[in-house]
Amino acid sequence: MRFDLDHATDILSRTPGILDSMLSNLPAGWVSGNEGGQTWSPFDVLGHLIHGERTDWVPRARIILQSGESKAFEPFDRFAQFGASEGKSLAELLRTFADLRSGNIRALKSLNLTAEDLLRKGKHPELGVVTLGELLAAWVVHDLDHIAQITRTMAKQYREAVGPWEAYLSVLR
């Protein structure tokens, strides 16, 4: 499917409501459980999404529009949420994410991007040259990836409880 900015902003603007529906008012075990080892809980993922709203998608779009390939993006700290979310409630993180996302959608729309703008290039510190369209498409897929991660992590809390049905539940594999 070809990238469509209107479709992308429609998906991006739904993510806060989806996460609010999935996570609000759940017992702590549902939002703090992970998949074992160094994996992330839904709470951790939410903190990661907040960090991305502050430092990744729109700031990088602006770098592409203002500097092109001449200024590389700052490296993204994939673990910043652990310090930034410490001591905060899930409700606070959900509100913060919704507020930041709403502001970023407004900011994105205010750029009045054209098809030509989506072809403009920037420089990722690891991936090299990327286009604005690729960045924005990655933002959408990043959201969907983390929604899937949250769903999978929550499902695995009942892995043993489902008994033999585990064989039919691909989310548990």
Q: Which domains does the chain have, with CATH numbers?
A: 5-172 (1.20.120.450)
3-state secondary structure of 72: strand
The closest alpha carbon to 16, from 109, 167, 173, 150, belongs to: 150
pLDDT at 135: 98
Length of the chain: 173
- 29/72 Cα distance (integer angstroms): 40
Both tokens assigned to 163 = 């008994």
pLDDT at 159: 95
Residues in contact with 48: Cβ distance below 8 Å, sequence separation at least 6, in sequence order: 40, 78, 80, 81, 146
pLDDT at 96: 98
pLDDT at 95: 98
The closest alpha carbon to 142, from 56, 23, 39, belongs to: 56
How would DSSP label each residue in 97-162?
Answer: HHHHHHHHHHHHHHT---HHHHT-EEEETTTEEEEHHHHHHHHHHHHHHHHHHHHHHHHGGGTTTT
Q: Is the pTM of this model over 0.85?
A: yes
pLDDT under 50: residue ranges of the chain: none
pLDDT at 65: 98
Q: If you search the block for the tokens 């739904």, which residue do you land on?
A: 14
- 61/11 Cα distance (integer angstroms): 18
pLDDT at 119: 98
**Residue 121 near residue 129 (C-beta atoms within 8 A):** yes
